[in-house]
Structure 1
Amino acid sequence: MDRLGSERRARRLARPRTPLPAAPRRSRRRPQKACLVIRPAVLADLPALTALEQELFGADAWNESLIRQEIEGPGRRFVVADDLSGYAVTMTAGDIVDLLRIGVRPEARRSGLASRLLDELLVDTDDASRMLLEVSVSNAAALGFYVARQFSVIDVRPHYYRDGSEALVMCRWLPGAARTPTATSHD
């Protein structure tokens, strides 16, 4: 019975019209550093990135070896703010770009940095047609961010995270992606 209930919940959450939290409203913006540059990560960034990863993700943090693999790995793009206050990582395979991580220091959040990092990764996506990501159902701030950035829920992964929470799989079609529109039951 539990499995059946879980499957029903997954199907309900994965429907295209699943209501998600509204994008957060920004009443006061923090001033963003005018000279902040987004650049590719380099191996010299490893110690700072490892410390930031630990600060942001705790037990689920990537270790230095994994971060090195993401910087050097084929099909990877790893970008950072030049002051190392944030970073983002993607992996491209075929026509899919998988957004693996976006991390921003707590004091730099709500400054537009995550949007700038994501925008950088949306440039030069070559022949990819869509970007995918997984996000915890309990991470309302991230869900609001991704919804505001035109991502929509396409699937649910039960017990995906270490704490047992579900992950929503989200998708965004990329600019210039060649795709054939398909009729759905919602049309």
Structure 2
Amino acid sequence: MVVLLDELTRESAVAAMRALEVELFGNHAWSEAAIRQELDAPGRTYVFDVEPDAMTSGGPAEPIYVPAEAVRGFAGYWYDGDDAEIMDIGVSKAHQRQGIAAMMMESLIEHAREQGARRMLLEVSVENAPAIALYQRFGFKNIGLRKRYYQPEGIDAHVMALDLEPHIVGFTSAQQQDDTDNQKEIR
């Protein structure tokens, strides 16, 4: 079950995210302080995939405490008023390949569109074939390469983008612009 950050107590979200960071990213895991800073930063949207049975406590509009082991994954982005940039995503090893990352991506894309983001950006290791395949399935395209992005190993990262709203490449014809202006006047 995918829930927003605000639906969980801050302590359960931080503990779960830290546990998953350590499991998945080892030496590259975000510290507890970095996680708190990230979750409290402006413009952030985070979702968590929680085992449905763990979502039984709490009242209406009250954050719910869930044990860290009940959180199977997390994902989040930063929205700057134009672009939504995925900051972090992870699914526990025991729950990978079960569609959890896809559900969280759908949720992030939906929230970004609702906020008015024009596109979504991310960086992914060139060696992370499963993540690249997931992003491509959602329509992300390679738009660049960051050399030696992941340190200390010096692994390159693809920069990928997904257009969330259509944009015009090049110029519009005068007739297309007139049609657009006329439609706006009718409304």
TM score, norm. by length of structure 2? 0.73
- Judging by fraction of residues, say which structure has more helix: 2
Q: Which has the larger radius of gyration?
A: 2
Q: Residue 42 of structure 1 contacts residue 71 of structure 1 at CA under 8 Å; is this kept in 2?
A: no
2:7 is the alignment partner of 1:43: no
AA partner of residue 138 (structure 2): R
2:99 is the alignment partner of 1:112: yes
Of the two structures, which has the highest relative contact order with CA contacts closer than 8 Å and spacing of 6 or more?
1
Q: Residue 2 of structure 2 contacts residue 47 of structure 2 at CA under 8 Å; is this kept in 1?
A: no
Q: Tell me what 2:167 maps to.
A: 179
2:44 is the alignment partner of 1:76: yes
2:123 is the alignment partner of 1:158: no
2:113 is the alignment partner of 1:146: no
2:88 is the alignment partner of 1:101: yes
Number of aligned residue pairs: 146
> 1:181 deviation in Å?
2.6
Mind listing any 5+ residue stretches in structure 2 that lack a counterpart?
51-69, 172-187
Mind listing any 5+ residue stretches in structure 1 that lack a counterpart?
1-35
Equivalent of 1:121 in 91, 108, 115: 108
- The superposition leaves residues 38-60 of structure 1 with CA deviations (integer Å, 9 ceiling, x where unpaired) of 33254122122211111111111
- The superposition leaves residues 18-70 of structure 1 with CA deviations (integer Å, 9 ceiling, x where unpaired) of xxxxxxxxxxxxxxxxxx24332541221222111111111111111111122
Give the 5 Å matches for 1:129-144: 129-144=118-133
- The superposition leaves residues 44-97 of structure 1 with CA deviations (integer Å, 9 ceiling, x where unpaired) of 221222111111111111111111122221100111112311000100112100
The whole-number CA distance in structure 2 between the counterparts of 1:130 and 1:168 is 16
Q: Residue 70 of structure 1 contacts residue 89 of structure 1 at CA under 8 Å; is this kept in 2?
A: no
Identity among equivalent positions (%) equals 37
AA partner of residue 134 (structure 2): F
AA partner of residue 170 (structure 2): T
Q: 118-127 vs 152-161, which deviates more? A: 118-127
> 1:178 deviation in Å?
5.0
AA partner of residue 156 (structure 2): E
Q: Residue 70 of structure 1 contacts residue 78 of structure 1 at CA under 8 Å; is this kept in 2?
A: no
List structure 1 segments (4+ residues) > 4 angstroms apart after TM superposition. Answer: none
> 1:152 deviation in Å?
0.4
> 1:115 deviation in Å?
0.8
The whole-number CA distance in structure 1 between the counterparts of 2:132 and 2:104 is 16
Q: Residue 132 of structure 1 contacts residue 169 of structure 1 at CA under 8 Å; is this kept in 2?
A: yes
TM score, norm. by length of structure 1? 0.73
